[in-house]
Amino acid sequence: MNRKVVALIVAIFIVVIIVGVIFPISNRENSRTNNSSSGETINNTVEVGEDRLVFINGGSFEMGSPETEMQRETDETQHEVTVSDFYIGKYEVTQSEYEEVMGENPSNFSGDNLPVENVTWYDAIEYCNKLSEREELTPVYTIDGENVSWDRSANGYRLPTEAEWEYAARAETTTPFNTENSISDEEAKNSENILIAYFSWSGNTENAAEIIQGKTGADVIELNPVEPYSSNYNEVLDQAQEDMNHDARPELANHVDNMEQYDTILLGYPNWWATIPMPIASFLEEYDFSGKTIIPFCSHGGGGFGQSITDISKLAPNSKIGEGLSIHYSGGSGLENDISDWLSNNGIEEQ
Ligand SMILES: Cc1cc2nc3c(=O)[nH]c(=O)nc-3n(C[C@H](O)[C@H](O)[C@H](O)COP(=O)(O)O)c2cc1C
């Protein structure tokens, strides 16, 4: 399968999960009017009563990412696109919503209120049709095996087009998020609510933590295990592997008294056997990170983050994970700049 096909499949998958479902305004005017007293006006959107849909005023925008935007695809050529008015799901389709309609939950990371995942585009359009039927609307899609057609006159639920999705996501900005360059820009971060927490064995992560501290002025905690690891490289390799095999939680020598003060944790660690060292797991299990943002920085010998980000997400459920910084060993002469860019991308101002 070539790269474009893969990208397309991924794009469709993301649209399904992130955006939920929409349906044309013309067919929902009544519902909007009936519920307007409980709705709330936000810029150009109107919440439809208790529904999970928001109304989006149509308009023109520059579709595609500017050259400076992170994670831009090389084939994105910016061009003006005009979209009509539409409604869009405000939240991702949850597992409980999906299961109620489809009778099954294919997700890996289960949780009623988590977004449904592991769904194909075909699953998603079937979900739309079934949802339409439940609400006595006319299903939009005619599905015949892999042949699918879209009846534009039908009043049921459908997936947003790529243009509608991007128009809604950019929300009259030209930046990746409606809050500019980071999802968290609205929560102006300052050094008082940021904690730098790190574990380092041979000093690379520690050096990065010190630079980050110098740039932000944030509080720092080094996560030292009560029983230190061997200073011998071959021995620590074995110890780390044993930790992993036993899913160990080494006791930490130091603790954070006032975790509620912090809403952003810059979490530093070396890549050990393609994931976090287990003292990091001990740290993540010791506190409640719900609602907090964890922003990882990881020093490694070529393996990048490995599966550490996934493991952090599992250990700190209900936290947000910010954009991570991958540091090759010591990070070399570009580290200072890389750290500055990373802080800025995460909406953290330097002091
Ligand atoms: C026990 C152990 C396991 C490691 N496993 C990996 C690995 O799986 N992938 C990788 O890229 N680097 C691995 N490394 C290399 C470290 O991630 C790298 O040397 C890092 O810069 C060390 O950071 P520190 O100086 O903060 O301890 C490992 C190092 C150790 C000691």
Torsion sign across C-alpha atoms 252, 258, 263, 264: negative
What is the C-alpha end-to-end distance of the chain, expressed in Å? Answer: 48
Q: Please tell me which residue, 104 or 49, carries the higher pLDDT value.
A: 104
* Mutational test site, ligand 1, from 244, 272, 275, 328, max ligand atoms within 8 Å of CB: 272
Residue 183's pLDDT band, with cuts at 50, 70 and 90, is low
Specify the CATH superfamily of domain 185-345: Flavodoxin domain (3.40.50.360)
List the domain boundaries for the chain: 3-170, 185-345
pLDDT exceeds cutoff 90 at 12: no
Q: Please tell me which residue, 50 or 234, carries the higher pLDDT value.
A: 234
| Cβ–ligand 1 contact at 301 (below 6 Å) | yes
* Mutational test site, ligand 1, from 243, 300, 309, 311, max ligand atoms within 8 Å of CB: 300
| Cβ–ligand 1 contact at 299 (below 6 Å) | yes
> In 3-state terms, what secondary structure has residue 21?
coil
Question: What is each CA distance from 152 to 13, 141, 142, 149, in whole angstroms?
Answer: 22, 9, 11, 9
Q: What is the b/e burial string over 66-91, where b = at least 16 CB atoms within 10 angstroms of the residue's CB?
A: eeeeeeeeeeeeeeebebeebbbbee
In ligand 1, the atom with minimum distance to the C-alpha of 236 is 1
In ligand 1, the atom with minimum distance to the C-alpha of 275 is 8
Give φ, ψ of 295 to 5 degrees: -120, 110
pLDDT exceeds cutoff 90 at 95: yes
| Cβ–ligand 1 contact at 244 (below 6 Å) | no
Domain 3-170 has CATH 3.90.1580.10: yes
Query: What residue owns the CA closest to ligand 1's atom 4?
Result: 272
- Ordered alpha helix ranges (H), the chain: 3-19, 29-34, 95-102, 121-134, 162-170, 204-216, 233-245, 278-286, 308-315, 335-345
pLDDT of residue 152: 93
Which tens digit of pLDDT belongs to each residue from 149-178? Answer: 999 999 999 999 999 999 998 888 887 777
| Cβ–ligand 1 contact at 300 (below 6 Å) | yes
Residue 238: Cβ within 10 Å count: 11
Which tens digit of pLDDT belongs to each residue from 206-259? Answer: 999 999 999 999 999 999 999 999 999 999 999 999 999 999 999 999 999 999
> In 3-state terms, what secondary structure has residue 224?
coil
Residue 140: Cβ within 10 Å count: 24
Place of tokens 């939950």: 105
Q: Please say whether the beta carbons of 324 and 296 come within 8 A.
A: yes
CA–CA separation, 81 vs 176, rounded Å? 17
CA-wise closest residue to 212 among 70, 306, 341, 332: 341
| Cβ–ligand 1 contact at 274 (below 6 Å) | yes
Mean predicted lDDT score pLDDT of the chain: 84
Query: What residue owns the CA closest to ligand 1's atom 23?
Result: 270
pLDDT exceeds cutoff 50 at 286: yes
Residue 182's pLDDT band, with cuts at 50, 70 and 90, is low
> In 3-state terms, what secondary structure has residue 348?
strand
Please tell me what DSSP assigns to residue 188: -
pLDDT exceeds cutoff 70 at 56: yes
| Cβ–ligand 1 contact at 239 (below 6 Å) | no
Question: What is each CA distance from 276 to 177, 203, 250, in whole angstroms?
Answer: 29, 16, 13
Q: Please say whether the beta carbons of 76 and 64 come within 8 A.
A: yes
